[in-house]
Structure 1
Amino acid sequence: MSDALINGLAGAGGGIIAQLITYPLQTVNTRQQTKRDPRNATEKNHGAIQQMCQVVKHEGWGRLYGGLAPSLVGTAASQGVYYYFYQIFRNRAESAALARWKNGIGDGSVGMFSSLLVAATAGCVNVLLTNPIWVVVTRMQTHTKSLKKTPSHTLSTTPEESIPIAAIEPPPYGTSHAVQEVFTEAGIWGFWKGVLPTLIMVSNPSIQFMLYETLMKQLKAKRALNKNSTNGVTALEIFLLGAVAKLGATVITYPLLVVKSRLQAKQVKDSDKKHHYKGTLDAIMKMIHYEGISGFYKGMSTKIVQSVLAAAVLFMVKEELVNAARLLLTKDAGLIDKVLSKPP
């Protein structure tokens, strides 16, 4: 099994576990990002926990996990695709760096700019392939469950004896409904809504991985100087490095995430044009005009908690899975060699 495939599968596994743990926070955050009332730009928002309680109270537990199934598929696909291509591009970058070192250029290691380029390239491939999944997930996360009221038949001419208005619960909003809604609105290209800010947001994992690998390199170098310490990095240290790296990347790129969510959510086509976005630039201009700069940072505290926790879990689980897979393959290879080396 190739190293790229091991990293791809491990990334998919780590992503799924992280998604399961943090999904309610993600649902609440997406709803915070897509609020379009200008008065809410500086409103007294409930905290993430309070908002989750409100969703459970008015819509049920299921709404916190709206879109979970396509989200898990998207997470597995995104992490698998990303880590697979990242490892391929990383291997090529390392080979190129080694070749330059043999020619007397550099120290044989992949520099910061090369690491950024590798992560960005892998991220672009990932976005183009998986954007349709995330459009559907966003629709399902932002869909609110409400009761439809319909007048019932009046059984008497007197108001006291008439049957009150009956509340009818709408049918469940599933993946097929979201897919049909997107296609009806904008056709096949509707599944690539928000792809421009998402491509620009490739800088998020790029910055994240650049920070992570830089911090990891510094930690290993420090360990190497300490004679009484082992060079190994613990799962807790990987967790903390992943959290710090994701925190830095999230703070820098959060406004793009808000714009992407606005574009991918259901468009409100009515007389109020401020609720309808024609594209990325139109969304940015309307948000600035009607909501101000603070509109680009709605739900940021929730996102920081969710993304930092998810990234830390992902890094920790992925590294453990990669190490376990390599150890298993090494043992299997050793066992095969031992069997083949025995005399007949």
Structure 2
Amino acid sequence: MAINKKLIHFNKEDSFTNEKDAGNILDTSIVFVKDAKKIITHSSEYPAVNWGKIKNLFITSEEAKAGDVCFYDSLSGKIRLAKIDNVNPTDYPTSRFTPIGVVVIPGSHDVYGTGQCGVVSLTRMSYSFPDTGGVGKVYETIYFGGYNDNISELTDFNYAPYVGNLISSGEVGDSTGTVIGQDIKDIYLPAHYTYFSNPDDFIQCPHDTKASYYITPGSNKPAPSPYLTDGSRNSSYYQTSSPSSANNCLSDFDGIGNTNKLINLATGQSDWKTASTITNNSGSGYYPAACCCWRFHTDGTKQGDWYLPACGELGYLTVEHETIFDTSVTLSEIYNIPDIAVNIDVMISSSEYSNTHIRIIRDANKYIGYVPKSSGYYIIAFLRV
């Protein structure tokens, strides 16, 4: 006798098979077979989903940390975050998941005021292939552009907090190299000093007893960590009030705003948004680095979602670089990604230093610096998730 029910449950596949062979299962019924983990309807079979496990596959922006993975999930059509320690080809199959980036800035630091994470691209940007980036190890150095342009829309971030100078182990020196202190981590110099001058002016850093910073217009200075020792956010990194400066380059997290300002000035190539290639020119009216980031998109993202990161965003790469790089290598091996973007020494930001120079972060020595806008470097893009 036919089982006239819309939903039918069988514990064992043998029982289902017997009823089906007897003609007792209506084609319009939806049947769940527990031991086989199958759903059958309209003569078609589908794997049953373990919803409890699915829930654990994903994490929130608040839970994500540097080195976690950003996926495009084709089943839901959404961008998802996942713990790198949980990623494997069985639970995150290539048929469903496409990795598009690695978490750099944890959502718990809330640098954007939205609780979003900062995610770095797995692919380097390309002016020859602006929509896909340098897939297949197409490495192209790209100009920031606008050399000698006075970009009034951008702040000149010509100050930077950084770790002081060591003369020798445990010793701190002034501009002449004279030893004036014994323990760099216990010193904090107010902003109006551009070099170590008087030990009596040193005060304990109120934010982080493990690091000390002072402010100067100089170039190539060791960057402070954006993290306190407990993993929370270090306000000395991004502060703009005294003893810091409103022009602290590490306070700039507005890569989206910077990028939009730059692309609006990109009048040298009128069709850069649709042309097959972007003109790589460092002159006035050309901003190829920002334009390439804007054009770049992946599965689950569109043009305009990715952007040229600001200096404050790039600073997060230096501390957790090994973790982020290890994640990109793991993803490359599992998902056959031909390009690993994050293994770059000089990282160009969208933060301006002057009309001729742009802020950079050097990963090899963790330095904050600046380079001419006419210099060409590999470019990476950021996404907020």
What TM-score do you get using the length of structure 2 for normalisation? Answer: 0.22
What TM-score do you get using the length of structure 1 for normalisation? Answer: 0.23
More helix by share: 1
